[in-house]
Structure 1
Amino acid sequence: MRLPSLPFNRHYRTLAVTVLLLVFTLQLVHVARVYSANWDEAHHLYDGYNIWTKHDYRLNAEVPPLVKLTAALPLLRMHLQVPPDLGKSQGLEAFLDGRLFVFGNGGDRVLFPARMACMLFALLLAVLLYMATQEMFGGIAALAALSLFTFDPLVLAHGALVSTDVGSACFIFGSVYAFYRYSQVPKLPRLLVVGLATGLAMTAKFTGIFVFPMLVLLAGVEALLARSWTVLGKRLMACAAILLCAWVVTWAFYGFRYAPAPGGKELSPSLGPYVASMPNKTNAAELSAVSKFHLLPEGYIWGLANTKKTEWEYTSYFFGRMYRHGPWQYFPVAFLIKSTLPLLFSLALFPFFWLRRQDRHARELCFLLIPVVFYFALVTTSHMDIGARHLMPIFPFLYALAGVTIAHAIVRSRGWAAVAAALLLWQVLTSARSAPAYMAYGNEAWGGPSQVHRYLSDANVDWGQQLKAVKQYLDQNHIQDCWFAYFPDGAVEPSDYGVNCKRLPTGSSLWWFRLPMDVPPVIDGTILISDSDLEGVESGDGPLNWFNPFVGLKPAAVIQDGVYVYHGRFAVPLMAALVDVRKTGDLLKAGQADAALATAQEAVKLAPDSAITQLNLADTLILKQQWGEAFDHYQRAGELARTIRPELEDEDMIPRSEKGMELAESHLHQP
């Protein structure tokens, strides 16, 4: 027995669903127009185009191809300029070529249609949510779930981007829903749909491989509810067939070819050494076995290894502090901050209504809760703590449950119906108030979007999507002389959107992209800083944070809750010193040892309490054979690295200091 049906006929219900999907679409289109390109979109898009046109999967193997191919599909009929290979490493080449590809071909001219293609995943997910909830619980619950989902800020922030999160959520939810339908009517066509959906989940994002254990758990629960070993056997056989089908789909997306590119071209770095360098040797052994027997395409295996490596390497910002690996509380708290209060209240009320029913739909409840519990436990125990967007796959399941709560409230009494209406209206107002800065959304219990940066950063607030708004702000305030620390600088540059501020260094722009910059120790004028850099995501917190002089200052303006504007005179000695550190290396490569030594000494004068500047000077002194001074600076570098957030320093900082001291001391003791 389902919940009561809607009090109006199918035509009105169809109209209501159509209106909600239209509103959802309009909101997503608006986001696609006002957001600038973020960290990942350009290289995802270029890699998709590269796969379509060259059948080459090497450029950006860090994610599977489905979303990238979908994004690039509208570009295939365009006459586009393709940048030449710059001869960089695979990851760096992807970002540099991606930027040249997107902005060399008109920016939004290619990015907007790509976003519209990716928006289809969000729309399909909305339709699947409605269909699944209606089939399980009836029309009232389905409309309520769709209404709440349509105005969810996290979904709206990512639903129209060239990104894997919504696509992954779509096909994980679709796989579970398809398995639910198969378990009702175990026919071959329905089984094939489950296998196809699971394969699409695996090729949308690597977390899609966890659909299979979800289905196995659901098979076990079905057998338990039926109290039948026969049911268990049949469901496990079905799971084996699903896995086989998904495996074939995965190979199909890689052209049924193990090699990542035609002509024997290899990944860079090649798979064997890359897998061997993984921190977890058990994972390395498993992937080596998969590679040895060619069980999956080489590009897919490389991407799995990359996921585990970056999970280990990424730092995490949580409640004003940087961590080498995020605490286990990261995702539970991120969920409580980034979820809307109407959703949280609906979920809190769910047991109150559910336990009062005679027919509690135990089977349906398992199909909604088991994937949520499994996935949530999975991400909570991981170290990829960089954004609530990684929780996206649990939200359609939770909105289905929230829809059931609303439906129960509507049919229970007039008072409860008023509560249900208030929750729905609250969700709409929440979305409207945060538009279009959905990326930085946080609910009212935590102070709203303007306060999220106190607890979370990175894609929870700032993914570099604000350049169009920054350009508008500068034009409206007639600001021409400015400095800008822009989080994705290099993957996207402010000048791509007409923002011509002078560059302040970020971790990526200084050390990885090695962009040109020259920073004085004191700056007069207007300074703009992306939230992720202000919080120290790329540098570290406290004394390690280049932007520590700005922490605690009240900004003159905040753009889309993610870019802070300051006017005045500011001392930035550490920033200037680190730019000098890079200049030291460039001068040494050019054979200008004396100039390099002077630059390294200037960096230490500017930032004497930086392990990086001390180590840089010591290395330069070694080349000049000034052993005594080198020893002193190596010693000081080691002391600083051990005492100022050592877990955030480069892993080789202390070993380099110790080896340098040994080398300098050995020369000092020579006759």
Structure 2
Amino acid sequence: MLIAANSQSGSAACREQWLTDRREKTIVSLLLLTTFSLAAGSAAQKSVTVDEYQALPHGLAMLKTGDLHLATGVPLLASVLPALPLLATDAQLDVSRMRDYTSSWQCGRQFVIDNAFERDPQSGQLVPSGRYHDYFLPGRLVSIAVLLVTCGLAYGYARSLYGPPSGLLAMLVACFSPNLLAHGRLITPDVYLAAAMIACVWAFDHWLSQPTWGMSGVLGLCLGTAALCKLTALLLFLLVPSLLAGQSVVDRIRPRDPIVGRPPRHRVWTLMAVSLVAGILVINAGYLFGGTFAPLGQFQFESRQMRAMAEALPGWLPVPLPRYFFQGIEAQLAESGYTAYLMGQFNDTGFYSYYLVALLVKTPAPVLLLCGLAWLYGGRPTRRELPMIATAAFLLLFFSLSRHKNIGVRYVLFLQPMMAVWIGRLLSGTASKRTWLRYTVAASAACLIVISLTSWPHYLPYFNWLSGGPNNGHRWLLDSNLDWGQDLIALRRYMEQEQIEEIDLAHFGRVPPAVYGIRHRTLRAGEKPLNRHVAISANLLWGLMYVVNGDLNYWPDDPDGYRAFRQIRPKAVLGHSIYVFEMEPR
């Protein structure tokens, strides 16, 4: 037994000796470079998705005018930061009527009008300019940079918890996550929130061990930035002090050895208050303090929660938040929600199990396996791990109970880097001494890499093999999980390859297909096609109705409108999101 113990300690020492600082930095650089290549290459081949249609133009409009009246419930940073590179381009956006806009979607429509078409000097007709898609690429590169930051934060957090090998494992899992690659290359708030969430949890972990004025400022900066990425992060302003209170209770029940230099309890709570105030200041700074401290009585509320609050508090009470940010909270609470789809069923009120099922079918099987092994063989969770576990569990429970926004696994994208950090514990402590477990980790990591490489560039419709893969994704989920209007470029290339001049088309999305040079006739629900070739988006085919072909005047409401085509074998399925049918000639 002594020989075996010496052998194990010797092998561990060899592994530590092999992983020098230089090699560690090289591996980190290679992982980030690979992630950038995968994300950027995929972004170039995917057409503008539903939410991108309005996010980038709205960000550009805010930069040009400073007008934030449309930023009620719309993430500020995820729109403004990707739009910054456009200021150095010739992208056009008429903002003269922006004050009359009631929705950021109108900015998206104006951006199409100003940039998507140009007049042919010979024929005098409007033709695609070819620039519309190109204007979105710099903004997508900004999102990819945030994706790399997310992977780096997963690495740093896991490294601080478990050591360098664990940090590298966490980074590998994050870098090759199909879900992070899918949404990390789009101009949407999800990857921004993922980065901010993991930063908040790591900062809170560091703050718990060293509650200083400086760390309180860092924690506040992370909290405020997260709220500017997405209103969901406001929950952290409640969760973080709750976790501190929980730890205080545990410390009283199970006292631990006092930490040298740790401030007394009342000072710790003072520093926590400083963090929360700093976070609120960051939010106000993000909105340039517009309307901060406006009296509560000046606001009109539609949501039940905000009306109850307004009735309970005096109208003169100043609201310590920017006007449009505060109105955004109200807009989110008043929103009625969306039609949800889960496992062949539609529901206007959502499903409690939606996000749990989404995670199980959209997360690669090797990652699910490693998460389970980390729980079984990683030992009891430590105090330092509890904030991350509690944050992940609370937010998953919150979204599951909310139900009114069951529209994509992207809403819980922040769980992906947390899962990566959790998996890192397999290469630390007693778990790392199990030879079979190390081989399992290595094999699973290799499988994840293969999965990610073979899924390229179609990351949005990724479903794991346990669920039947992307071709069976519609049996489980729709919307942004499968089809978000991302394959118009693939359709154009297919038409060129097959020499198809015109096609009957029903495309899920707000971008007019003509922007990408697709000559088409709109196929309405229940209508017989006139052209020999027909293309239908997966969402529309399987019953999730939305704007068709960018025509805001046509939004069918019959989920069986394209049912007849479900019985026909498609000639091709482009990117797992557009079904192409060849009809019998008349």
The alignment status of 1:48 with 2:59, answered yes or no, reads yes
Matches within 5 A, 1:640-655: none
Deviations, residues 170-221 of structure 1 (Å, cap 9, x unaligned)? 1111011111111212221111111001100000001010112221232124
Distance in 1 (alpha carbons) for counterparts of 2:45 and 2:62: 28
**More displaced 10-residue stretch of structure 1: 211-220 or 99-108:** 99-108
The alignment status of 1:526 with 2:545, answered yes or no, reads no
Matches within 5 A, 1:4-15: 6-7=16-17, 8-15=19-26
Distance in 2 (alpha carbons) for counterparts of 1:155 and 1:92: 25
Pick the aligned partner of 1:549 from 564, 577, 585.
564
In structure 2, the CA distance between the partners of 1:94 and 1:350, relative to structure 1 (3 Å rule), is same
How far 1:290 sits from its partner (Å)?
11
Distance in 2 (alpha carbons) for counterparts of 1:532 and 1:272: 38
The alignment status of 1:170 with 2:199, answered yes or no, reads no
Matches within 5 A, 1:347-496: 347-355=371-379, 360=380, 362-382=382-402, 383-407=404-428, 411-488=432-509, 491-496=510-515
Distance in 2 (alpha carbons) for counterparts of 1:88 and 1:33: 31
Distance in 1 (alpha carbons) for counterparts of 2:486 and 2:67: 29
Matches within 5 A, 1:135-150: 135-150=160-175
How far 1:235 sits from its partner (Å)?
4.1
Aligned partners of 1:483 and 1:528 also within 8 Å = yes
Which SS does the other structure have where 1:322 is aligned?
strand
**More displaced 10-residue stretch of structure 1: 42-51 or 409-418:** 409-418
Distance in 2 (alpha carbons) for counterparts of 1:477 and 1:409: 58
Gaps of 5+ in 1: 260-270, 507-518, 572-671
Deviations, residues 294-348 of structure 1 (Å, cap 9, x unaligned)? 33222212322332344x2310111112111211011110110011111100111
Which SS does the other structure have where 1:551 is aligned?
helix
State the partner residue of 2:34: 23
State the partner residue of 1:36: 47
Which SS does the other structure have where 2:97 is aligned?
coil
Identical aligned residues as a percent: 24
Distance in 1 (alpha carbons) for counterparts of 2:318 and 2:20: 57
**More displaced 10-residue stretch of structure 1: 403-412 or 317-326:** 403-412
Matches within 5 A, 1:169-318: 169-227=194-252, 233-258=266-291, 275-276=301-302, 278=303, 281-286=304-309, 293-310=318-335, 312-318=336-342
Could you say which structure has the larger radius of gyration? Answer: 1
How far 1:414 sits from its partner (Å)?
3.5
In structure 2, the CA distance between the partners of 1:118 and 1:351, relative to structure 1 (3 Å rule), is closer
In structure 2, the CA distance between the partners of 1:39 and 1:150, relative to structure 1 (3 Å rule), is same
Aligned partners of 1:130 and 1:143 also within 8 Å = yes
Distance in 2 (alpha carbons) for counterparts of 1:224 and 1:30: 50
Aligned partners of 1:542 and 1:548 also within 8 Å = no
How far 1:88 sits from its partner (Å)?
5.6
Aligned partners of 2:182 and 2:460 also within 8 Å = yes
Distance in 1 (alpha carbons) for counterparts of 2:268 and 2:247: 8
Which SS does the other structure have where 2:41 is aligned?
helix
How far 1:417 sits from its partner (Å)?
2.2
In structure 2, the CA distance between the partners of 1:429 and 1:287, relative to structure 1 (3 Å rule), is farther
Aligned partners of 2:203 and 2:215 also within 8 Å = yes
Distance in 1 (alpha carbons) for counterparts of 2:290 and 2:250: 42
In structure 2, the CA distance between the partners of 1:101 and 1:374, relative to structure 1 (3 Å rule), is farther
State the partner residue of 1:331: 355
Aligned partners of 1:350 and 1:405 also within 8 Å = yes
Gaps of 5+ in 2: 1-11, 118-128, 257-262, 293-297, 547-554
Letter in 2 for 1:342: P
Deviations, residues 507-553 of structure 1 (Å, cap 9, x unaligned)? xxxxxxxxxxxx96553421111111112212799964211212243
Distance in 2 (alpha carbons) for counterparts of 1:450 and 1:409: 40
In structure 2, the CA distance between the partners of 1:40 and 1:409, relative to structure 1 (3 Å rule), is farther
How far 1:410 sits from its partner (Å)?
7.7
Distance in 1 (alpha carbons) for counterparts of 2:204 and 2:384: 12
Aligned partners of 1:47 and 1:57 also within 8 Å = no
Aligned partners of 1:48 and 1:69 also within 8 Å = yes
Which SS does the other structure have where 2:582 is aligned?
strand
Distance in 1 (alpha carbons) for counterparts of 2:114 and 2:158: 42
Letter in 2 for 1:308: L
State the partner residue of 2:120: none
In structure 2, the CA distance between the partners of 1:528 and 1:233, relative to structure 1 (3 Å rule), is farther
Deviations, residues 404-449 of structure 1 (Å, cap 9, x unaligned)? 1255698324433221111000100111121111100111101011
Letter in 2 for 1:171: A
> Higher relative contact order at CA 8 Å, sep ≥6: structure 1 or structure 2?
2
Deviations, residues 87-119 of structure 1 (Å, cap 9, x unaligned)? 664354233124335636822332111111122
In structure 2, the CA distance between the partners of 1:215 and 1:438, relative to structure 1 (3 Å rule), is same
Distance in 2 (alpha carbons) for counterparts of 1:251 and 1:290: 22
State the partner residue of 2:156: 131
Pick the aligned partner of 1:97 from 99, 110, 125.
110
In structure 2, the CA distance between the partners of 1:232 and 1:387, relative to structure 1 (3 Å rule), is farther
How far 1:569 sits from its partner (Å)?
5.7
In structure 2, the CA distance between the partners of 1:181 and 1:476, relative to structure 1 (3 Å rule), is same
In structure 2, the CA distance between the partners of 1:502 and 1:290, relative to structure 1 (3 Å rule), is farther
Which SS does the other structure have where 2:341 is aligned?
strand
Tell me the C-alpha RMSD between the 2 structures: 2.8
Aligned partners of 2:489 and 2:516 also within 8 Å = yes
How far 1:146 sits from its partner (Å)?
0.6
**More displaced 10-residue stretch of structure 1: 64-73 or 95-104:** 95-104
State the partner residue of 2:5: none
State the partner residue of 1:604: none
Aligned partners of 1:61 and 1:300 also within 8 Å = yes
The alignment status of 1:82 with 2:93, answered yes or no, reads yes
How far 1:224 sits from its partner (Å)?
3.7
Distance in 2 (alpha carbons) for counterparts of 1:178 and 1:42: 34
How far 1:234 sits from its partner (Å)?
4.2
In structure 2, the CA distance between the partners of 1:134 and 1:79, relative to structure 1 (3 Å rule), is same
Aligned partners of 2:45 and 2:489 also within 8 Å = yes
Letter in 1 for 2:502: D
In structure 2, the CA distance between the partners of 1:504 and 1:243, relative to structure 1 (3 Å rule), is farther
In structure 2, the CA distance between the partners of 1:321 and 1:182, relative to structure 1 (3 Å rule), is same
Letter in 2 for 1:195: G
Which SS does the other structure have where 1:456 is aligned?
coil
Deviations, residues 349-374 of structure 1 (Å, cap 9, x unaligned)? 1232123xxxx561122022011101
Letter in 2 for 1:15: T
Distance in 1 (alpha carbons) for counterparts of 2:59 and 2:556: 36
Which structure has greater helix proportion? 1
Which SS does the other structure have where 1:441 is aligned?
coil
Letter in 2 for 1:365: E
Distance in 2 (alpha carbons) for counterparts of 1:454 and 1:403: 32
**More displaced 10-residue stretch of structure 1: 76-85 or 50-59:** 76-85
Aligned partners of 1:484 and 1:501 also within 8 Å = yes
Pick the aligned partner of 1:67 from 78, 97, 107.
78
How far 1:236 sits from its partner (Å)?
3.5
Which SS does the other structure have where 2:43 is aligned?
helix
Letter in 2 for 1:437: H
Distance in 1 (alpha carbons) for counterparts of 2:290 and 2:433: 58
Aligned partners of 1:212 and 1:239 also within 8 Å = no
Which SS does the other structure have where 1:362 is aligned?
coil
In structure 2, the CA distance between the partners of 1:409 and 1:531, relative to structure 1 (3 Å rule), is farther
